[in-house]
Structure 1
Amino acid sequence: MGRTSKDKRDVYYRLAKENGWRARSAFKLLQLDEEFHLFQGVTRAVDLCAAPGSWSQVLSQKIGGQGPGHVVAVDLQAMAPLPGVIQIQGDITQLSTAKEIIQHFEGCHADLVVCDGAPDVTGLHDVDEYMQAQLLLAALNIATHVLKPGGCFVAKIFRGRDVTLLYSQLRVFFSSVLCAKPRSSRNSSIEAFAVCRGYDPPEGFVADLTKPLLDHSYDSDFNQLDGPTRIIVPFVTCGDLSAYDSDRSYPLDLQDGSEYKYTPPTQPPISPPYQEACTLKKKGQLAKETRPQDCPISRVDVPSQPLTSPHHTLLAPEVKHNKPNCT
Structure 2
Amino acid sequence: MAKDTTGRLYVTVKTGGKRKLSSKLWLERQLNDPYVAQAKRDGYRSRAAYKLIEIDDKHRFLKPGSTVVDLGAAPGGWSQVAAKRVHATNGKGKVVAIDLLEMPEIPGVTFAQLDFLSEEAPARLIEMMGGRADVVLSDMAANTTGHRKTDQLRIVGLVETAAAFATEVLNPGGTFVAKAFQSGADAELLAQLKRDFTSVRHVKPASSRQDSSERYVLAMGFRGQPSR
Determine if the alignment matches structure 1 residue 40 to structure 2 residue 50: no
* Residue equivalent to 2:75: 52
Of residues 89, 95, 110, the one that matches 1:65 is: 89
How many residues are aligned here? 203
Q: TM-score, normalising length from structure 1?
A: 0.57
Provide, for residues 224-275 of structure 1, a one-character-per-residue CA deviation record: whole Å limited to 9, x for no partner: xxxxxxxxxxxxxxxxxxxxxxxxxxxxxxxxxxxxxxxxxxxxxxxxxxxx
Are 1:32 and 1:38, in contact at CA under 8 Å, matched by a contact in 2? no
Instruction: Determine the C-alpha separation between the residues in 1 that align with 2:132 and 2:199.
Output: 20
Instruction: Determine the C-alpha separation between the residues in 1 that align with 2:213 and 2:65.
Output: 29
Identity %: 36
* Residue equivalent to 1:80: 104
Provide, for residues 273-306 of structure 1, a one-character-per-residue CA deviation record: whole Å limited to 9, x for no partner: xxxxxxxxxxxxxxxxxxxxxxxxxxxxxxxxxx
Give 1:123 shift: 4.3
Of residues 37, 43, 64, the one that matches 1:20 is: 43
The structure in which a higher percent of residues are strand is: 2
Are 2:66 and 2:93, in contact at CA under 8 Å, matched by a contact in 1? no
Are 2:44 and 2:80, in contact at CA under 8 Å, matched by a contact in 1? yes
Give the residue type in structure 1 aligned to 2:121.
T
Give 1:307-326 correspondences, 5 Å limit: none
* Residue equivalent to 1:135: 158
Provide, for residues 80-104 of structure 1, a one-character-per-residue CA deviation record: whole Å limited to 9, x for no partner: 1111110112232345322222223
Helix, strand or coil at the partner of 1:182: coil
Q: Structure 1: where are the runs of 5+ without partners? A: 206-327
Name the larger-Rg structure: 1
Greater RCO between the two (CA within 8 Å, min separation 6)? 1
Give the residue type in structure 1 aligned to 2:74.
A
Of residues 130, 139, 144, the one that matches 2:167 is: 144
Give 1:26 shift: 0.5
Give 1:21 shift: 1.1
Instruction: Determine the C-alpha separation between the residues in 1 that align with 2:176 and 2:211.
Output: 25
Helix, strand or coil at the partner of 1:136: helix
Determine if the alignment matches structure 1 residue 102 to structure 2 residue 111: no
Give 1:135 shift: 0.9
Are 1:93 and 1:142, in contact at CA under 8 Å, matched by a contact in 2? no
Give 1:77 shift: 1.6
Instruction: Determine the C-alpha separation between the residues in 2 that align with 1:189 and 1:112.
Output: 26
Instruction: Determine the C-alpha separation between the residues in 1 that align with 2:96 and 2:81.
Output: 12
* RMSD, aligned CA: 2.3
Give 1:97-176 correspondences, 5 Å limit: 97-106=121-130, 108-176=131-199
Q: Structure 2: where are the runs of 5+ without partners? A: 2-10, 13-27
The structure in which a higher percent of residues are helix is: 2
